[in-house]
Structure 1
Amino acid sequence: MTATTTTRAATGALQIPVRPRSWPVRLAWAAVAVAIVAAFWDLGIEWSKLASLPSDLAHYTRLMFSDPDWSKLPEALYQTWRSVAMAWTGALLGVVLSTLLGIPAAQGVGPLWVRLPLRWVFAVIRAVPEVVIAIIILTVTGLTPFTGALALAIGGIGTHAKWTYETIESVPQGTSEAVRASGGNVLEVARWGLWPAASPELMSLGLYRFEINVRTSAILGLIGVGGIGDMLTGYTQYREWDTVGVLIIVVIVVTMSIDAVSGRIRRRIMEGAKARDLDRSA
């Protein structure tokens, strides 16, 4: 008797795997298809205009970039600076508040009755776009860049606080357990057990939040809180395409420059942290 025969005799008859049911998958795909068709149907798309879309884009591109009005460049740079200042202020306020609120929301730091309400608040904030937040608070602060900064700060709390407690939860627990075993309270555990290991990634995420705010600040300008978005809306409504072209060029150059510098700093922070860890292990 061979080994295979002996194994079959010991385990019984050969079991044929059950064929998975295909109807739930088909039902799910059918539901997705219906949702897509309903979405396109409800948009009221004029399919006849789609054929002329490439030529229209080429036409307006020529209007904007064939002969830009560079006399508006100083004003465009000033309004871009206001957008960047708005983004930086919102990022600074949001990151500080997110860090203070996100650390106790991490598992193993704050108790359950603290973690759950905080995470619920973060989820609610993430569900509200920054534009809606700005519309709500402008009734109090008015149409000023500070309104945009507050909207960016509040809107950033939902996402950045989630990044914070997820980063804290990914930190090895050895140091924090040692601090806790020596009698440390929650603040001491967070300061000496978690912050040294999590701070490089949290600082990197803070810079990434600033990059996001730079783009969002231009969108907030569309509702009149100032900055390059406000200027872009005004000249677009008056169809001054040569000025719109200058504004778009400024936005692209400034945004790409900030992304490049911020990305380099973030890589330096993370690589420096790894280098220090290697030095300690050696």
Structure 2
Amino acid sequence: MSDTLENRTRTTTSPAVVLPPRPSRLAQTVATAVVGLVLLVSVTTLDVEWAELRGLPAAVGEYGVLMFADPDWSRLPRALFEMWRSISMAWLGALLCVVVSIPLGMLAADGVGPAWLRLALRGVFAVIRAVPEVIIALVLLTVTGLTPFTGALALGIAGIGTQGKWTYETIETLRDGAADAVRAAGGGRTAVIRWALWPAALPALLSFALYRFEINIRMSAVLGIVGAGGIGSMLANYTNYRAWDTVGMLLIVVVVTTMVVDAVSGALRRRIMEGP
């Protein structure tokens, strides 16, 4: 009897379970409504003949037959040479990007550069990322002319924004143990960068540099269309003349070369990040 009363007393005196408040979904609802509104306005304001989309598969098939049924391989040596020029532009652009962006990106990281310098560099990186490579190439064309150097310079400048952001984000994700040890030994800011931050961030930065080279390979073909040289210029010329058999051959060269470069670069990046 006493045990029953004791159990009842414990039951009646136990604190009530307080459930947490239900999370508000107002922000998600508003964001969904805004995205839907933007999509609706975009669809209704674009001057698009939606009825013509029904004939798109047939048109794609027709031009696919014109380009790939019997490609013109007689201009393959010239295509390979222009593809090599595009690869050279991509490589030079990647080197320029890495040489400039890594030191500046490290200075833009928290705990490395002063606050005013960090904010200024991050602002510059954001502005560069906002400008497409094609626009940069068109601006440079007025200074450097229609040369592959224009394409390499445009790729290098355009990559600084992204590579710099990758750099300071990589530095900020590193553990502070090595940096604290260097500071405890009396090392200054330069010693911390040289002996703590740089060795720890080097594998990731090399991987990002190779990935930037992969991006430049694809972008070099686009820059060639605006007159920067390389396989893109050759592709634009034969497209204007409606030489579809040659265009098909050029597209095959671009696709195969890009896939080979991506495979080799991807293997190198995995080797750098994961080891043998």
TM-superposed CA distance for 1:213, in Å, is 0.5
Structure 1 partner of 2:272: 269
Structure 2 partner of 1:213: 216
Give the number of aligned pairs: 272
Q: Deviations over 1:193-238 (max 9, x none)?
A: 1111111111111111100000011111111110111111111111
The 3 A distance-change label for structure 1 pair 24 and 106 is: closer
Structure 1 partner of 2:82: 79
Q: Which residue among 95, 120, 124 is the counterpart of 1:121?
A: 124
Q: Deviations over 1:224-266 (max 9, x none)?
A: 1101111111111111100000000000010000000011111
Structure 1 partner of 2:256: 253
Alignment map for 1:217-256 (pairs within 5 Å):
217-256=220-259
The 3 A distance-change label for structure 1 pair 246 and 114 is: same
In structure 2, what is the Cα distance between the partners aligned to 1:60 and 1:212? 27
The 3 A distance-change label for structure 1 pair 217 and 3 is: farther
In structure 2, what is the Cα distance between the partners aligned to 1:210 and 1:130? 14
TM-superposed CA distance for 1:41, in Å, is 2.1
Structure 2 partner of 1:279: none
The 3 A distance-change label for structure 1 pair 217 and 178 is: same
The 3 A distance-change label for structure 1 pair 7 and 157 is: farther
Q: Which residue among 87, 91, 102 is the counterpart of 1:88?
A: 91
The 3 A distance-change label for structure 1 pair 70 and 3 is: farther
In structure 1, what is the Cα distance between the partners aligned to 2:223 and 2:26? 46
Structure 2 partner of 1:47: 50
- Listed as ranges, the gaps of 5+ residues in structure 2 are none
TM-superposed CA distance for 1:166, in Å, is 1.0
Identity fraction in percent = 59
In structure 1, what is the Cα distance between the partners aligned to 2:257 and 2:57? 27
Q: Which residue among 22, 32, 37 is the counterpart of 1:34?
A: 37
Q: Which residue among 113, 124, 137 is the counterpart of 2:140?
A: 137
2:48 aligned counterpart, secondary structure: coil
Check the 8 A contact 1:141/1:147 in 2, yes or no: yes
TM-superposed CA distance for 1:173, in Å, is 1.4
2:89 aligned counterpart, secondary structure: helix
Structure 1 partner of 2:173: 170
Highest Rg: 1 or 2?
2
Structure 1 partner of 2:101: 98
1:61 paired to 2:54: no
TM-superposed CA distance for 1:151, in Å, is 0.8
The 3 A distance-change label for structure 1 pair 172 and 16 is: closer
Runs of 4+ in 1 over 2 A off after TM superposition: 1-11, 13-31
The 3 A distance-change label for structure 1 pair 174 and 22 is: closer
The 3 A distance-change label for structure 1 pair 6 and 50 is: farther
Structure 2 partner of 1:187: 190
TM-superposed CA distance for 1:127, in Å, is 0.7
- Listed as ranges, the gaps of 5+ residues in structure 1 are 276-282
TM-superposed CA distance for 1:26, in Å, is 3.8
In structure 2, what is the Cα distance between the partners aligned to 1:237 and 1:219? 15
In structure 2, what is the Cα distance between the partners aligned to 1:257 and 1:70? 20
Aligned AA for 1:163?
W
TM-superposed CA distance for 1:105, in Å, is 0.9
